[in-house]
Amino acid sequence: MSLRILHFSDVHLPFPPGAFRTPGILHPKRLVALVNFYLRRGSKYAEAVQKLNGLNEFLRREPVDYVLFTGDSLNFGLEREFVAAAPRIAETLALARRGSLAVPGNHDLYAGNSPACHRRHFAALLHSDLPEAAAPTGYPLVRWLGDDAVAIAFNTSRPNFNFWNSSGRVPALELDALGRLLDAPEIAARRRVFLMTHYPFDENGYFHGLRNSRALIKLLRGRENLVLLHGHNHRAYTHFVAGTTTPLYCAGSLSKAGAESFWLFDLFGDALNPRRGAWKNARFVLLD
Ligand SMILES: [Fe+2]
Ligand SMILES: [Fe+2]
């Protein structure tokens, strides 16, 4: 059996005209973020739509079986951003031959009513092959990847009121549900379990990292079939989780100018062959 899986993250699509004509923009976190966006951040992601279209072109040129997306479609979690972004992300995910799975980022669940907007506009992308395994939070989501592998998405993003706080957390109920899933015979027996979430699987600073990463890593230790996928950090990298043989891949940002990236995995039996995608001469290509 062979499978081809593509993992991308952090598209940060530009906000559409009129996105700010809403009282929601007066949220203190959004006001600070807006200034930051205009002063520093915005220009780096100005061509995010072109990069997403570039990924679509790559997927038509190099078809994959499954596409996995680890969040941050937007910037401020405003309703009009969702209206514009949801069909674009759905179009990309639909290019996978057999299926896809997505999980939100902190910029999707940014503030106020962002989580409700996300549920409404991304509902079609949030279905699970094992819905009875989800906690009341709606996660983890499960996608069977053929007969030998599976993807499990759990949510680490949440709205934070203060602008200096962009930390994440795995809800306790979700952590328990994840443990039960990983122990389930039909999951434990799979050759590969791709575990995906937005936040890195480490603390990475109190106000930027995953607050309960130690409990998460404790849960994952001793399981030989895991592959960890995440985004949030806007540069791609890979390493083994400290003291384990578990590989971890950060997809970086699909759209950050000069650092565009994704991961492509070929799974042949037990062998996992990762290659990184990069933007060269106005198209995505695979690096050797
Ligand atoms: Fe991001
Ligand atoms: Fe993020």
Ligand (nearest to CA of 13) = 1
Beta-carbon count within 10 A of 146 CB: 17
Packed helices 114-121 and 79-93: angle between N→C axes, nearest 10 degrees: 40
Tell how far CA 110 is from the center of its chain: 15
| pLDDT of amino acid 1 | 65
C-alpha distances in angstroms, 67 versus 56, 90, 93, 100, 148?
11, 11, 6, 5, 17
Ligand (nearest to CA of 8) = 1
Q: What separation in Å is there between the alpha carbon of 131 and the centre of ligand 1?
A: 27
Structural domain boundaries, residue 263: 2-286
3-class state of residue 30 by DSSP: helix
Q: How far apart are CA 33 and CA 144, in angstroms?
A: 38
| pLDDT of amino acid 163 | 73
| pLDDT of amino acid 270 | 87
Phi, psi of 149 (to 5 degrees): -135, 165
Q: How far apart are CA 194 and CA 172, in angstroms?
A: 21
3-class state of residue 83 by DSSP: helix
Q: Name the residue type at position 82.
A: F
Burial class (CB in 10 A: 0-12, 13-18, 19+), 156: buried
Q: What separation in Å is there between the alpha carbon of 269 and the centre of ligand 2?
A: 33
3-class state of residue 39 by DSSP: helix
Q: How far apart are CA 235 and CA 284, in angstroms?
A: 16
Q: What separation in Å is there between the alpha carbon of 109 and the centre of ligand 2?
A: 10
Q: What separation in Å is there between the alpha carbon of 168 and the centre of ligand 1?
A: 13
Residues with CB under 5 A from ligand 2 (ion): 72, 105-106, 232
| pLDDT of amino acid 97 | 98
Count of domains in the chain?
Answer: 1
> Could you say which residues of the chain have pLDDT below 70?
1, 19, 42
Q: What separation in Å is there between the alpha carbon of 107 and the centre of ligand 1?
A: 7
**CATH number, position 166:** 3.60.21.10
Beta strands in the chain (DSSP E): 2-8, 66-69, 99-102, 141-145, 149-153, 192-196, 226-230, 237-240, 247-250, 261-268, 271-280, 283-286
The answer to whether the Cα torsion of 244, 147, 171, 32 is positive or negative is positive
Q: What separation in Å is there between the alpha carbon of 236 and the centre of ligand 2?
A: 13
Q: What separation in Å is there between the alpha carbon of 73 and the centre of ligand 2?
A: 9
C-alpha distances in angstroms, 46 versus 43, 75, 78, 271?
5, 12, 18, 38
Q: What separation in Å is there between the alpha carbon of 30 and the centre of ligand 1?
A: 15
Q: How far apart are CA 171 and CA 179, in angstroms?
A: 13
Q: Check if the beta carbon of residue 178 is closer than 8 Å to that of residue 133.
A: no
Half-sphere exposure of 134 (CA within 13 A, CB side): 17
Global confidence as pTM: 0.94
Cα Rg of the chain, angstroms: 18
Q: Check if the beta carbon of residue 167 is closer than 8 Å to that of residue 203.
A: no
